[in-house]
A and B are shown apart, each in its own frame.
Chain A
């Protein structure tokens, strides 16, 4: 019963955060909304028996990414709001379609037999399982993730660097 209550409140927090992001009058408000969203998701992860991932969520997402956003927003001083939208009709069409999409997905979910196995009796060492899998079956994706970071680094160096005066 406690589980349901906890799920409900964290879910609401996540949704509130999300709505806050899109309604925020300027970028910094949105960033904060994002922070709330990420943290509530982190909490949900813990409930879903994925402590390690929750930890990473807090550190990487809530921490690094949101901080970086705020950092760049502050750097470029673009914290002011937006002007009036010239083409409102697309805005409403977009929202309507999105809602339609959600309805479709919910309809799918309700119709399908969603996975509902109970937790295994003996508590597993989550981190050990992940570690083992990471370096056996999922070794290649790990390397690929490495390459991804490499791209990130190259991109930053290439784009943000001032033209070499040399």
Chain B
């Protein structure tokens, strides 16, 4: 059976889910960041795969823009994290539950 976008799509779904589990399970904020990035990357993979098998360039373009977004997001995320750290030296997401109820 020849390689087709199905296999790439399944791979990207798996990676997407692992990223999702990472966000749910881990309590270190950095790891959660990384997992979110991983989810985005998983989607990039399927986009590229569709672009290749549809023989269209749009997918790749969107991936480019997604990378731009991811970059901006990481910058903002880390900025907030640094500001948070300055307040209280923790990176444990569970300590951020002042707002609840």
A: residues with CB less than 8 A from B are 3-4, 7, 11, 14-15, 18-19, 21-22, 24, 26-27, 30-31, 34, 37-38, 41, 44-45, 48-50, 52-53, 56-57, 60-61, 64-65, 68-69, 72-73, 75-76, 78, 82-83, 85-86, 90-91, 94-95, 98-99, 101-102, 105-106, 109-110, 114-117, 119-120, 126, 129-130, 133-134, 138, 141, 144-145, 148-149, 151-153, 155-156, 158-160
Contact = CB atoms under 8 A, between A and B. Distances in A.
B24 to A, nearest CB: 3
Contacts of B21: 22, 94-95, 98
Secondary structure class of chain B's binding surface, majority of residues: helix
Contacts, number: 221
Interface of B: 3-11, 13-22, 24-28, 30-31, 33-35, 37-38, 41, 44-45, 48-55, 57-58, 60-61, 63-65, 67-72, 74-76, 78-83, 85, 89, 91-92, 94
Contacts of A69: 30, 33-34, 74, 78
Nearest to B18: A18
Contact of B53 (A27, A60, A65, A117): A117
Given A48-B8, A130-B61, A159-B82, A15 B17 contact: no
A60 to B, nearest CB: 5
Contacts of A126: 57, 60
B31 A22 contact: yes
A134 B74 contact: no
Contacts of B92: 82-83
Nearest to B30: A27
